[in-house]
Chains A and B, each alone.
Chain A
Amino acid sequence: MWDYSDKVKEHFFTPKNAGAVVGANAIGEVGSISCGDALRLTLKVNPETEIIEESGFQTFGCGSAIASSSVLTEIIKGMTIDEALKVTNQDIANELDGLPPEKMHCSVMGREALQAAVANYRGEEWKDDHEEGALICKCFAIDAVMIEEMIWANKLRTVEDVTNFTKAGGGCAACHEDIEAILEKVLAEKGEKFDATVSTAAVEKVETPAIAAVKTPLTNVQRIKKIEEVLTSLRPQLMADGGDVELVEVVGNTVYVNMTGACNGCQMAAMTIAGIQQRLMEVLGEFLRVVPASEMKKLVNIEGAGHA
């Protein structure tokens, strides 16, 4: 079945803080039995210090829903409510040593119950703005609603666009058929037609300044300039993800870059590099390989030998 971490199992088999806190002054309830998950979080907050002194949960749900609830009550105990509000669903998942992508929504539910409880304590009304759709891309835990919203917001037209904007589809590619189906549906709603053969270029105009494809042979300087130009055009997208890219060296057909920020070392780096490479090849009209500069030493020698 699921490949749950020992931490998840521990919190499932021996849950902490199960049951309702007596005399709670902050109660958050999310989900419903029809969704297959429901969570009620009860907290006792000290009105003087705003510190959460006691927390308890009641959960209807699967193993990871129960484990997420249990670990959440442990995390927030002793925090002030402002500190507690900073707890993200990723924190909950991390504390459990990870959750399968299909189960990430359990950690989201924990965070939402927490927000609802704090709102309840402050006498505010909490609105759930999070809508969850069917899980489409298991590699990156992206659901249908997210993909649909991105297609609408960014005028996406191809699977590749969707991958660039949401990461969905950038791993094993098994979800491409489903992504195509969503594109077809949304584009039909917009009165357009999905065409699997169309290239992405049309869309990227929206996001990135168009760069004319190269027609005549380039001098070395022109070529490097062109490469810089492409990287600059892609930079806003990378920065939106908290990363950046920098050109280090061009040796033959190999373009060495430094990936910094969120891109560096994350599982996305390889994918991002593939995207940059694709774009460079489109513009320069030649085969190019993009390689992280960290691998330069071992590769330069080989390349150098090849060019000697």
Chain B
Amino acid sequence: MPDIYLDNNATTKVDPAVVDVMIPFFLEQYGNPSSIHKFADGVAKALKKARGQVQELIGAEHDSEIIFTSCGTESDSTAILSAIKAQPNRKEIITTTVEHAAILNLCENLEKEGYTIHRLPVDKCGRLNLDAYKKMLSDQVAIVSVMWANNETGTIFPVVEMAEMANSAGVMFHTDAVQAVGKIPMMLQDTKIDMLSISGHKLHAPKGIGVLYLRRGTRYRPLLRGGHQERGRRAGTENTASIVGLGKACEMAMEHMEYENVQVKAMRDKLEQGIIATVPHSFITGDLNNRLPNTTDIAFEYIEGEAILMLLNKAGIAASSGSACTSGSLEPSHVMRAMDIPYTAAHGTIRFSFSRYNTMSEVDEVLKVMPTIAATLRKLSPYWDSVTNEPVANPEAAFTPTFK
């Protein structure tokens, strides 16, 4: 059995069809799109086509609302920094406790500069409280930034409704839709969303290409000033090959939207139901009724995530524990803490994220090994009684380490 890739929320394989359309822009049409000679002839046209393909996928009204950037993180930073620069009198930002580091760390930094950051909490299922949100909206708020879908649990937030509420209060609304674009349908022209971030590598385009959607008329200040590229809104010579690749990837995501929400979802559902049925003391985290079709995040109690990943990896299965970015630290993921998942489980959460490249037989393969992996590690755990094969009666009390 070849290796099984179930870490598509971290990044995806570039679709071979995407690679194909990119190659001419490295080898033949490598001219600068601003130049006037035959090496650049087709480039401007190709960029325009790509812009249209992105526009189509997200349902933007104009193709000029699409600004190409270098990644999702840059789009996030551009959106927030633009909003506070364009409205210097507004010193508050509303976001959530479960955003990606691209938003959270930026906000933390702005806090040091004197901004007030309101971080909306989530409940045990990862849901936001819209009443609390409504109370925070005021003419002091420069921007609201709420992710469309959470990268760890796949939980989808009601951003369309939240954008309406912000708009009524006269507040700009940004959404980090890096995980949502290409997985669920959207029609931005029917919403009040002002800005939206996309990252190419989450939908089978290359890494290092992103998009900031900027609704026409939204007050804006560029992050990078310089040349006139992207109508002066993002200077720097265009990453032509990647832009063309992203366009193609968006077109393909559009074609596969139904497949993603039926077949991919069926694989995800089978995997998570199978695991819950065969591994005792495991449960699914997040809002089970509002989730991306490709993501499941499962908590295995009394064992630790990295150890699980190492055994999965040995079995040829790639998944991740928490977000790929946070698995380098020893803390349980901030998303699990925000949902108040007990510590006995929060350290042992594993995210399986699918793409259209996965198959049902891969699901069966994971289901074959997962119970053994959990049992192997539990045998080593001081919180597990290997005689009864149950957690020790009172884990916190049975294990009484010395505290300072």
Contact = CB atoms under 8 A, between A and B. Distances in A.
A58 B379 CA distance: 8
A1 B310 CA distance: 9
Range of interface residues on A (Cβ < 8 Å): 35 or more
A40 interface: yes
Given A19-B386, A62-B307, A128 B404 contact: yes
A277 to B, nearest CB: 34
Nearest to A105: B330
Interface stretch (A28-36, A79-87, A191-199, A212-220): A28-36
B401 A58 contact: no
B329 A33 contact: no
Contacts of A59: 380-382
Given A1-B309, A33-B343, A116-B402, A39 B382 contact: yes
Given A12-B310, A60-B303, A60-B304, A128 B383 contact: no
Contacts of B402: 29-30, 116, 125-128
Contacts of A171: none
A63 B344 CA distance: 17
- Quick one: which of B304, B314, B332 has the most chain A CB within 10 A? B304
Contacts of B404: 127-129, 131
B329 A38 contact: no
Nearest to A181: B112
B230 interface: no
A188 to B, nearest CB: 12
Interface in B75-123: none
Given A33-B383, A38-B383, A116-B402, A12 B304 contact: no
Interface string B274-316: 0000000000000000000000000000111111011101100
A203 interface: no
Contact of A36 (B309, B330, B379): B330
Nearest to B310: A63
Contacts of B401: 29-32, 38, 116
Given A12-B310, A63-B310, A128 B329 contact: no
16 contacts: A1-B327, A18-B379, A31-B401, A32-B399, A34-B343, A40-B399, A58-B382, A60-B382, A61-B304, A62-B330, A63-B307, A65-B304, A102-B328, A126-B402, A128-B403, A129-B404
Interface of A: 1-2, 9, 12-13, 15, 18-19, 29-40, 57-63, 65-66, 102, 105, 116, 125-129, 131, 135
A-B complex: 9 closest residue pairs judged by Cβ atoms: A62-B306, A58-B382, A29-B401, A40-B382, A34-B343, A63-B310, A60-B381, A128-B404, A33-B343
